[in-house]
Structure 1
């Protein structure tokens, strides 16, 4: 009904144009400005939410009723933190125990925890920006147009495309031919990123809560960053999460039952 009143039905192309126009400049500027400007990546995440609000409120006027405005249950947050720890902290502990990758002697668990709590708190709002856009707004509209699996894969591919400026920068930091290294990073990152989006989608769908998926998003990013910035990440830590998320994403894509919209109540 709202679309009929606005006279502008939802357009994926227009939506993505809005998001990219608002968020990519920050991703692109960061590598040119230097490491001190890394917070621009957080601004880019926030801009996904800003662009989504503009699209839903002023362009398509289709609202945000089914975005997932519930808090979820306490166990949902425990699972979210548990998964983030399993993906990053677990392989890092194994590396330490087996002597594969030793942490600096001056790094303690307290240091890592303090780093995590600080960065996690800061990242909650940017993480919400992405979850509001990709899961709360975009995914239900893709569900309405396509089969469940196709919608999930398409939304995952879109999130991979959105990360391309950062992925390209990662590729250029590898020694060797830049064209080859960038292409390799793009290829290697594609499937894990798409499957991780499926995991994000399942967390949102099963809990009916943007809050839970936001907490998982921030936990995933900041467990990784706090360990990397203190104890460092070895080869197992860097590859473990890609393997697990790929397996988990495929399993959910194949077997999970999906709720295609979220309830409106808090």
Structure 2
């Protein structure tokens, strides 16, 4: 077995082994142990660092490097588009669901919350987009790379989804497939940003912006039993919005240049 394939397999085993400890604590103790999700989000990153030490000690495989500002801005504002539009449409359809309530009136709170989102998102992105996605793109073309990495990322969330500790509000027979589809689509967007920018920062910022906008801004402004069917991480309107983004990004890139991202420097 080649070093690359072996490193991918061990990375996945490490990630899910470490994550299982966090799953157990959170599921067993419930919301009182919710803070362990910060450690859970760092399990892919910790695994990636271990893999680097074992297999790629002298190589720079996790690219914390500067990139054109356009990719930074795309990372921050793409979630503003797909989440903002989806929630706005839902509020127009169901105006009584708009509460007008926010977590805090303190600007300091929101600044610190965004910094916290960056730190936790970084843990996942170091693993998923810093290591796994580039290595998988050395083996597969972009479309299967996105699908496989997206499925792995989605399945990694399943224990908390099934336990009702994450994105509850819809039955599992609806929640799991829609969540999986949305994660695969977001992975497509992250693939574009990661491979075009040659940096992990746009992916980190997109992930952080997504969590921040969904959990700290849009969710508190929404109060309805059926909102999860339309907006957020299991929302059909959100899925449509992300499809539009993926189509725009794919259209922007020529077919040959899009495929060739996997063969360029990381």
Q: TM (normalized to structure 1)?
A: 0.79
1:203-242 to 2 correspondences below 5 Å: 203-228=193-218, 230-232=220-222, 235=227, 236-238=230-232, 239=235, 240-242=237-239
Residues 41 and 64 (structure 1 numbering): CA distance in 2 closer, same or farther, change over 3 Å? farther
Which of residues 34, 37, 40 is equivalent to 1:38? Answer: 34
Q: Does 1:124 align with 2:110?
A: no
8 Å contact from structure 1 (residues 72, 208) kept in 2? yes
In the alignment, what sits opposite 1:187? 177
Q: CA deviation at 1:255?
A: 7.4
How many residue pairs end up in the alignment? 252
Which of residues 8, 14, 20 is equivalent to 1:24? Answer: 20
Q: TM (normalized to structure 2)?
A: 0.79
In the alignment, what sits opposite 1:86? 81
Which of residues 240, 243, 249 is equivalent to 1:243? Answer: 240
The 1-side partners of 2:58 and 2:131 are apart by: 9
Gaps in structure 1 of 5+ consecutive residues: 176-180
The 1-side partners of 2:148 and 2:202 are apart by: 22
Residues 192 and 92 (structure 1 numbering): CA distance in 2 closer, same or farther, change over 3 Å? closer
Q: Does 1:71 align with 2:73?
A: no
8 Å contact from structure 2 (residues 75, 206) kept in 1? yes
Name the SS for the 2:231 alignment partner: helix
In the alignment, what sits opposite 1:178? none
The 2-side partners of 1:41 and 1:169 are apart by: 14
C-alpha RMSD of matched pairs (Å): 3.2
